[in-house]
Amino acid sequence: MSGTPLLSLAVWVPILAGLVVLATGSDRNAPLARALSLIGAVAGLLVTIPLYTGFDLHTPAMQFVELKPWIPRFNVNYHLGVDGISMLFVILNSFITVTVVLAGWQVIDSKVAQYHAGFLIMSGLLNGIFSALDGVLFYVFFEASLIPLYLIIGIWGGPNRVYAAFKFFLFTLFGSLLFLIALLYLFISSGGSFSILDWHRMPIGMTAQTWLFLAFLVAFAVKVPMWPVHTWLPDAHVEAPTGGSIVLAAIALKLGAYGFLRFSLPIAPDASHELAGFVMALSLIAIIYIGFVALVQEDMKKLVAYSSIAHMGFVTLGFFIFSPLGVEGALVQMISHGFVSGAMFFSIGVMYDRAHSRLIADYGGVVNTMPKFAAFFMLFAMANAGLPATSGFVGEFMVILAAVEHNFWVAFAAASTMIVGAAYTLWMYKRVVFGSVANHHVAELRDINGREFLIFVLFAIGALGMGLYPQPFTEVMHSSVDELLRHVALSKIQ
């Protein structure tokens, strides 16, 4: 297998499949478009499996590396590779793509080919982001992935979709343009290299590190999103179609956090230590304040969107504790959140498809008409609240443990969210699912069909599997995380 360019396959199989789907054209060929996109998504997932099975646990180095010159004029290379940090996200993304294709199977009935092609192309681009080891290649994938999501929100979204699509695009672009200047600065000061690994090794003075860190912070904080630049996310989630919300929550939010690990920490370690308190403060605000904001939401999607921001606060908090437990906990939290928030948005999508409302007040007593759905929704609500034995618990618990070692009061503040998180999730669940049947819309609800059942099972395997036995996920991270922290502990100032 060593000769197979697995990462290139992971990137280009979905993109090519997307172009093929696009070529099926009008909605007359919708069944063909759906079938082809499912084939493409599954093929995209299959090619990522060897990344896990062939992964060497004992080296922190990049694996499955591909290196070819791309633009020699600027020494830009087509340089792909994954380590323990990024590998799982490639697989997670390919997995989510399959669920998204299934989730849009019946619901989307206009411009079917464009819809599925958008997701497949985005899937390839996102894989590119997680496996790029060249600054320009990373940036190109990072920005290009905005286009499909912009179109998906704008074409298939809700009533206020235009506003949400523009806000999403311009907010993210605002962050990434400063990031581009940071990349160019690194290119010039490294004497003409765009290799991220070269930048990791390069000594940089404190002032430059601080500016670089801030430029990275703007780019990634918008993407995570961290308080106070989170406002685009609830809008984007509320307006996006179900598939868009799933990808946004499960994968797109991870890009920012991943960027911290790939760029901020190793390239500007001294500035990271210096400004860790600042980032931790922002994270705690996200965890606590946004948690309370989630509590008062009337729209289910908005509630889950705010809960995503709070959960991502745990991730950034975990990173800036600089302990193995913290970073690994944060990574586990990221993957877990991929399953759980994806499933939450899918659950809301299932209800929305039937009753065409996302407002909590329009529901009540759903368990009476949709018992199977209620059971799955229960599981994911519990996982979202961080109940032990679900994946949501593992990551949060690891981060809180790491925080206790770091500072008791930080840990105390973060742990308080367990209560808030349980409160807003379970209260929503109670109002939507329990009680007597609220109105004739709820009375007319039909329980989930086989396709929806399959998607729920896929998500449940992820959420429960990770909660009960997190070892397969954490063991691949160890060497890379240890190496990263060893690297971050060393000063780059000379």
Partner 1 sequence: MTLAEMQFQVPDLRLASAEIFMLLMACLILVGDLLAKDQNRTLTFVATQLTLIGAAVITFASSSGDTAYTFSNMFVGDLMADLLKLLLYLTVIVILFYSRGYILERPQMARGEYYSLALFATLGMMVMISASHLVTIYIGLELLSLSLYAMVAMNRDSVPATEAAMKYFVLGALASGLLLYGMSMIYGATGTLEIPAIAERLYLGQFDKGILVFGLVFVVAGLAFKLGVVPFHMWIPDVYHGAPTAVTLFIATAPKLAAFAMVMRLLVNGLIVVSHDWQQMLIILSVLSMAIGNVAAIAQTNLKRMLAYSAISHMGFMLLGIVTGVVGGDARFALNAYSSAMFYVITYVLTSAGTFGMILLLARGGLESDELDDFRGLNKRSPWFAGVMMMMMFSMAGIPFFVGFFAKFSVLQAVVAAGQLWLAIVAVAFSLVGCFYYLRVVKIMYFDQPANMSPIEAPLDMKILMSANGLAVALLGIFPQVLMSLCAFSLLRSL
The residue (of 1 and 188) whose beta carbon lies closer to partner 1 is 188
Q: If we measure between CA atoms, which residue out of 383, 392, 396, 385 comes closest to residue 424?
A: 385
Q: Say whether residue 19 binds partner 1 (CB under 8 A).
A: no
152-172: burial string, b at 16+ Cβ within 10 Å, e else: bbbbbbeeebeebbebbbebb
Of 3-11, 149-157, 240-248, 419-427, the segment contacting partner 1 by CB under 8 A is 149-157
Of 65-73, 84-92, 229-237, 321-329, the segment contacting partner 1 by CB under 8 A is 65-73
Q: Which of 16, 147, 404, 437 binds partner 1 (CB under 8 A)?
A: 147
Residue 264 structure tokens: 């901020």
Q: Say whether residue 199 binds partner 1 (CB under 8 A).
A: no
The rounded distance, in Å, linking the Cα atoms of 11 and 14 is 6
Q: Say whether residue 164 binds partner 1 (CB under 8 A).
A: no
Q: Which of 25, 31, 277, 371 binds partner 1 (CB under 8 A)?
A: 25
The residue (of 173 and 295) whose beta carbon lies closer to partner 1 is 173
Number of chain positions touching partner 1 (CB under 8 A): 36
Residue 30 structure tokens: 């919708």
Q: Say whether residue 358 binds partner 1 (CB under 8 A).
A: no
Q: Say whether residue 20 binds partner 1 (CB under 8 A).
A: no
Q: Say whether residue 169 binds partner 1 (CB under 8 A).
A: yes
Question: Which strand (E) or helix (H) includes residue 82?
Answer: strand 76-82
Q: Which of 32, 67, 140, 464 binds partner 1 (CB under 8 A)?
A: 140
Q: Which of 170, 454, 457, 468 binds partner 1 (CB under 8 A)?
A: 170
Q: Say whether residue 213 binds partner 1 (CB under 8 A).
A: no
CB of 155 to partner 1, least distance (A): 6
Of 140-148, 272-280, 297-305, 454-462, the segment contacting partner 1 by CB under 8 A is 140-148
Tell me the torsion sign for CA atoms 211, 214, 216, 219. Answer: negative
CB of 143 to partner 1, least distance (A): 5
Q: If we measure between CA atoms, which residue out of 211, 186, 328 comes closest to residue 275?
A: 211
Q: Which of 177, 276, 295, 355 binds partner 1 (CB under 8 A)?
A: 177
Of 153-161, 252-260, 298-306, 378-386, the segment contacting partner 1 by CB under 8 A is 153-161
Q: If we measure between CA atoms, which residue out of 417, 212, 387 comes closest to residue 294?
A: 417
Q: Could you tell me which residues are beta bridge partners of residue 77? A: 69
The answer, yes or no, to whether the previous bond of 472 is cis (omega within 30 of 0) is no
The rounded distance, in Å, linking the Cα atoms of 94 and 130 is 12
Residue for token pair 């800036």: 320
The rounded distance, in Å, linking the Cα atoms of 368 and 167 is 39
Q: Which of 1, 3, 159, 188 binds partner 1 (CB under 8 A)?
A: 188
CB of 144 to partner 1, least distance (A): 5
Of 100-108, 178-186, 239-247, 408-416, the segment contacting partner 1 by CB under 8 A is 178-186
For 239, 385, 413, the CA distances from 18, given in Å and listed in that order, are 23, 36, 45
Interface of this chain with partner 1, residues 294 to 353, rule: CB under 8 A: none
Q: Say whether residue 159 binds partner 1 (CB under 8 A).
A: no
The residue (of 167 and 406) whose beta carbon lies closer to partner 1 is 167
Residue for token pair 């600054």: 135
* Residue pair 205/297 in contact by the 8 Å Cβ criterion: no
Distance of CA 267 to the CA centre of its chain: 22
Q: Could you tell me which residues are beta bridge partners of residue 68? A: 78
Q: Say whether residue 461 binds partner 1 (CB under 8 A).
A: no
DSSP of 69-81, one letter per residue?
EEEGGGTEEEEEE
Q: Say whether residue 174 binds partner 1 (CB under 8 A).
A: yes
Question: Which strand (E) or helix (H) includes residue 63?
Answer: strand 63-71
Of 31-39, 41-49, 139-147, 268-276, the segment contacting partner 1 by CB under 8 A is 139-147
Q: Say whether residue 12 binds partner 1 (CB under 8 A).
A: no
CB of 114 to partner 1, least distance (A): 7
Give the burial class of 78: count Cβ atoms within 10 A of its Cβ; 0-12 exposed, 13-18 middle, 19 or more buried: middle
Residue 368 structure tokens: 């009476």
Residue for token pair 């209560």: 419
Q: Which of 72, 159, 191, 450 binds partner 1 (CB under 8 A)?
A: 72
Q: Say whether residue 173 binds partner 1 (CB under 8 A).
A: yes
The residue (of 218 and 317) whose beta carbon lies closer to partner 1 is 218
* Residue pair 71/135 in contact by the 8 Å Cβ criterion: no
For residue 356, the SS3 value is coil
Q: Say whether residue 136 binds partner 1 (CB under 8 A).
A: yes
Interface of this chain with partner 1, residues 226 to 255, rule: CB under 8 A: none
Q: Which of 1, 2, 73, 440 binds partner 1 (CB under 8 A)?
A: 73
* Residue pair 96/342 in contact by the 8 Å Cβ criterion: yes
Residue for token pair 């919300």: 245
For residue 459, the SS3 value is helix
CB of 71 to partner 1, least distance (A): 5
Name the residues that contact partner 1, by CB under 8 A: 25, 70-74, 111, 114, 136, 139-141, 143-144, 146-147, 150-151, 154-155, 161-162, 165-166, 169-170, 173-174, 177-178, 180-181, 184-185, 187-188
